[in-house]
Amino acid sequence: MTERTALPLFPHRHLLGIKGLSPLDIEMLLDRADADVSISRQSEKKTSTLRGRTQINLFFEASTRTQSSFELAGKRLGADVMNMSVASSSVKKGETLIDTAMTLNAMRPDILIIRHASAGAAALLAQKVDCSVVNAGDGAHEHPTQALLDALTIRRAKGRIGGLTVAICGDISHSRVARSNIILLNALGARVRVVAPSTLLPSGISQMSVEVFNTMKEGLAGADVVMMLRLQRERMEGAMVPSVREYFRYWGLDAEKLKVAKEDALVMHPGPMNRGVEIASEIADGPQSVIQEQVEMGVAVRMAVMEALLDPRRNPDGAAI
């Protein structure tokens, strides 16, 4: 634990997005997460960094990996973790997000992890409660811990992020993963490309410091990292893609399309995957895939984020001492 207390104090009380973090803040979290990876690889996985602290996971949207990852991260740090099951809560009886949050706040948690279908939900919550808030995905806005775990996976595989060419492919317009990754990768000096049909590009994409490509062949040429995104059919209004088969033919990652990227290019996907839609099974399970590493890094990154936000050197009201 001695090396942990020597780490610089993270200058934020909440993690609401990658936007607003400096490159130094990001590197600090990645360094901390790098050290946390070894905890999960030991047979004794429980530490006492957050002993006595209460973590509440408040997930208003379905989630398997993100919720379980936050739960394990909290438990490995020794915190008491409660999962608020929204399906069986008063939310179903019409309670608003703020009322739910205020009720939970009165139980004096130290950290609230929130996932919600509306952009801005985490920021709203952070204004109302007394504890730290982590955004685990708010609508199509941000998903900061996903971008951090992606960065950690890339940094561990390639040794750096600056100077790499990263192609983010597929449903950019509905993706908080794409948004957070674009901001983070740019902050750390990567060259970011987005590769998508024009119907799946957000209107403000030209202001996001990315190069836009309309074919996989051009977009993947010479890439160091190929990041595939799930086709988010639940967020689409109307048919934005003609058919799943046609989507796979033009935009799905298969061996043929991957050939134009660098030979040692990493293949990533945040999950859940639609096999045969945005990615072929043989690629998802193939030698270039780091999809399982991403899941492993997810636990470490979430441990690092919670440790950084709940640093004991900070006052309970959040001010640094």
Q: Which residue ranges are tagged as binding site?
A: 65-66, 93, 115, 143, 146, 176, 230, 271-272
- Give the end-to-end CA distance of the chain in Å, rounded to a whole number: 20
Is 271 near ligand NCD (CB under 6 A)? yes
Phi-psi map region of 3: left, alpha, beta (phi>0 left; psi -120 to 50 alpha): alpha
Is 146 near ligand NCD (CB under 6 A)? yes
Beta carbon of residue 6, minimum distance to ligand NCD (angstroms, whole number): 32
How far apart are the C-alpha atoms of 45 and 72, rounded to whole Å? 10
Beta carbon of residue 93, minimum distance to ligand NCD (angstroms, whole number): 26
Is 137 near ligand NCD (CB under 6 A)? yes
Is 314 near ligand NCD (CB under 6 A)? no
Pairing of strands 165-169, 132-138: unpaired
Question: Which is closer to ligand NCD, CB of 78 or CB of 271?
Answer: 271
Q: Is 278 within 8 Å of 170 (Cβ atoms)?
A: yes
Burial label for 98, CB within 10 Å (0-12, 13-18, 19+), is middle
Applying CB under 6 A, which of residues 116, 155, 230, 302 lies at the interface with ligand NCD?
230
Count CA atoms closer than 13 A to 183's CA, side-chain side: 20
Is 202 near ligand NCD (CB under 6 A)? no
Is 141 near ligand NCD (CB under 6 A)? no
Beta carbon of residue 143, minimum distance to ligand NCD (angstroms, whole number): 5
Is 66 near ligand NCD (CB under 6 A)? yes
Applying CB under 6 A, which of residues 4, 12, 65, 75 lies at the interface with ligand NCD?
65
Question: Which is closer to ligand NCD, CB of 49 or CB of 297?
Answer: 297
CA angle 306, 312, 315 (to 5 degrees): 105
Which residue in the shown chain puts its C-beta closest to ligand NCD? 230
Question: Which is closer to ligand NCD, CB of 53 or CB of 241?
Answer: 241
Applying CB under 6 A, which of residues 39, 270, 279, 293 lies at the interface with ligand NCD?
270
> Could you say which residues in the range 87-116 bind ligand NCD, by CB under 6 A?
none
Question: Which is closer to ligand NCD, CB of 65 or CB of 262?
Answer: 65
Applying CB under 6 A, which of residues 13, 14, 176, 179 lies at the interface with ligand NCD?
176
